[in-house]
Amino acid sequence: MIVGLGIDVVGVERFGRTLERTPALRTRLFTAAERDLPLESLAARFAAKEAVAKALGAPAGLAWHDAEVLRGPGGRPVLRVTGSVAAAAEALGVTSWHVSLTHDAGVASAVVVAEALGQAGGS
């Protein structure tokens, strides 16, 4: 059962200017495993973090580092949640995540699906 769906779009050039203007944002927004990636990948990961919040209904108190996008087998993006994000997901019954990232023509985007396996109801 789908618990939530989130999507977000980020202008890569604008995001890069923001990171240049405020260098501390790179550390505040991204984990050590994420922050040295190319700008397009950072923008897509930022979009994914925003999409995670939307999929959860945008609860207050989510920490940026508590949603991390890693490279899984074959380069597929994998979402790892901890702390505040994991707690919000657990409260909603989320048991798995699906994430898709893309960047092209100066735009990065992400779609995130929060799913609760084995909890489908109805008659």
CA atoms of 106 and 69, how far apart (whole Å): 20
> Please, are residues 47 and 10 in contact by the beta-carbon 8 Å criterion?
yes
Q: What pLDDT shows up at residue 58?
A: 95
What number is the average pLDDT over the span 80-93?
98
**Residue 64: inside a domain:** yes
> Please, are residues 64 and 49 in contact by the beta-carbon 8 Å criterion?
yes
Q: What pLDDT shows up at residue 122?
A: 44
Residue 75 carries which DSSP code?
A: G
Task: Please give the tally of structural domains in the chain.
Answer: 1
Q: 3-state class of 120 per DSSP?
A: coil
**How deeply is 80 buried, as exposed, middle or buried, from its count of CB atoms within 10 A (0-12, 13-18, 19+)?**
middle
**Residue 123: inside a domain:** no
- For residue 55, what are the domain limits? 2-115
Six token digits for residue 40: 């397009």
- Per-residue pLDDT tens for 42-73? 999 999 999 999 999 999 999 999 999 999 99
Mean pLDDT of the chain: 95
CATH code of 23's domain? 3.90.470.20
> Please, are residues 65 and 27 in contact by the beta-carbon 8 Å criterion?
no
Q: What pLDDT shows up at residue 117?
A: 85
Share of the chain above pLDDT 70, in %: 95
**Residue 122: inside a domain:** no
What number is the average pLDDT over the span 27-43?
97
Evaluate if residue 119 carries a pLDDT over 80. Answer: no
Confidence of residue 123 (pLDDT cuts 50, 70, 90): very low
CA atoms of 26 and 14, how far apart (whole Å): 14
**How deeply is 12 buried, as exposed, middle or buried, from its count of CB atoms within 10 A (0-12, 13-18, 19+)?**
buried
